[in-house]
Copies of this chain bind each other. A is one copy, B any other.
Amino acid sequence: MKQFRVGLLGFGTVGTGVVKCLFQNGSLIGSRVGIEPVLAKIADLDITTDRGIRVDPEILTTDVDEVLTDPDIDVIVELVGGTTIAKEFILRAFENGKGVVTANKALLAHHGDELFPAAERHGVDFYYDASVAGGIPIIKCLREGLAANHIESIYGIFNGTCNYILTRMENDGVAFNDVLREAQELGYAEAEPSLDIDGLDTAHKTSIMASLAYGQWYGMDPVHVEGIRNLELQEIRNAAELGYKIKLLGIIKMQNGLIQMRVHPTLIPTHSQLAQVSDVFNAVWVRGDIVGDTMYYGRGAGQDATASAVVADIIDVALNRQFESRQRVPGFRPHSRYADNTVAMDSISCRYYLRLQVDDRPNVLAEIAHILGAAGISIASLMQRESESDVVAIIVITHMAVESAVRRALDAVTRLPVVRGEPTMIRIEDL
């Protein structure tokens, strides 16, 4: 059996998962694809901590160069993380003629425009299926399985931490801060949770998926990002009564020829497939002009699910090397079919959920309805909650409206003397 030698940078959680996977299934993989991936070297600053797996001490090094320059190593797996030193390592791996596999979504979202041309220049492969939706082979599906389709829209539950928090809030009526603390204790959320809960991680993945769909490496600028930090329980309850669940979605959508990329809490119909995705699971809804609606579901993070995707990419690099077909399917191939046509958030249109706290006085509803109507915003349904205090909640669901008009109308509404505090606005997608 031919072998394919793997050099690992970073022996943390995912790195350990990759080692376990290669040990456990390396030989099965060999039988399946005709070439067996073999662990050759691991570089990490810490090579003494017990990872719960026996590794030949000979292959451990603290010197990354020993891996990057080893002529016997065919592919480098970058699991260092971050956007600085990881980029350097990858570029040096390319220079040394090695294919690279990474799970580093932040690096890709921020520096893909530099990395992909470098890989092409050096004629090596650069794959990253683990960077979006963990174990779900969504990058391969989008790039190869759905290659015959113009992509109309993508809706992704890309962040397991947020989905876990939202599921707990919904099922058990626990407030955001309490669930967050609990998730941190369980290891589902980081001590510094901002990357997850403020939507940035979802935005990285949204940017990557949009780039693949439309052939231009977008980076982070065109992505509108809102997280779930300020989401209140009453929103989840109101949504449920109206037949919706709230999910943090990465949304990519072609509307009137323009491409939207946005991350925000979203009301989606309770009975939609995406709404059934709970706890730490991820799912990606992809609508193509030929295939129609498809969905991909699985674990979006964690040692093993991520390792499954990393090793699948290793196999692709291995086959390309064996068949001398590097860049056969490049990690990313730019084209200008959808050139420069992203749209600012102000100009999108969708339906909206609005909650206003107002004094319980006559004529309030009329005043609000008047402002919305004057802004061209048509009301689909309206619910006023009974209250024991003199402040009541008014919940409005709009028909399709333009974001800028909704924002202007909300500003005007907020200035009404009867309106208390800031109104809440959450977008709706009917999928």
Which residues of A are in contact with B by a Cβ distance under 8 Å? 17, 21, 24-25, 28-29, 31-34, 129, 135-137, 140-141, 144-150, 215, 271, 273, 276-277, 288-299, 304-305, 307-309, 311-312, 315-316, 319-320, 322-325, 328-329, 333, 335-337
Once A33-B333, A291-B135, A293-B299 are accepted as A-B contacts, the answer to whether A21 and B148 lie under 8 Å apart by CB is yes
- The answer for the CA separation of A291 and B282 in the assembled complex, in Å, is 13
- The answer for the CA separation of A191 and B297 in the assembled complex, in Å, is 35
**Are B32 and A147 interface neighbours, CB within 8 A?**
yes
Inter-chain contacts of A32 with B (CB < 8 A): 147, 215, 333, 335, 337
Majority SS of interface residues in chain A? mixed
Please name the residue on chain B nearest to A336 by beta carbon.
B31
**Are B305 and A292 interface neighbours, CB within 8 A?**
yes
Once A273-B276, A328-B323 are accepted as A-B contacts, the answer to whether A308 and B333 lie under 8 Å apart by CB is no
- The answer for the CA separation of A141 and B284 in the assembled complex, in Å, is 14
Please list 16 pairs of residues, one from A and one from B, whose beta carbons are closer than 8 Å in the complex, sorted by A's number: A17-B290, A24-B150, A28-B337, A32-B147, A135-B292, A144-B312, A147-B311, A273-B273, A273-B276, A291-B308, A292-B304, A292-B305, A319-B325, A319-B328, A325-B328, A328-B328
- The answer for the CA separation of A297 and B325 in the assembled complex, in Å, is 31
Inter-chain contacts of A292 with B (CB < 8 A): 135, 298-299, 304-305
- The answer for the CA separation of A300 and B188 in the assembled complex, in Å, is 35
Inter-chain contacts of A320 with B (CB < 8 A): 325, 328
Please name the residue on chain B nearest to A139 by beta carbon.
B145
**Are B25 and A149 interface neighbours, CB within 8 A?**
yes
**Are B329 and A148 interface neighbours, CB within 8 A?**
no
The winner among A129, A290, A293 for most chain B CB atoms within 10 A is A290
Extra pairs beyond A33-B329, A291-B309 (9, CB < 8 Å): A24-B289, A31-B336, A135-B291, A140-B145, A149-B308, A273-B276, A295-B295, A295-B298, A324-B324
- The answer for the CA separation of A273 and B288 in the assembled complex, in Å, is 22
Once A295-B297, A319-B329 are accepted as A-B contacts, the answer to whether A308 and B25 lie under 8 Å apart by CB is no
**Are A146 and B328 interface neighbours, CB within 8 A?**
no
- The answer for the CA separation of A156 and B316 in the assembled complex, in Å, is 26
Inter-chain contacts of A271 with B (CB < 8 A): 276
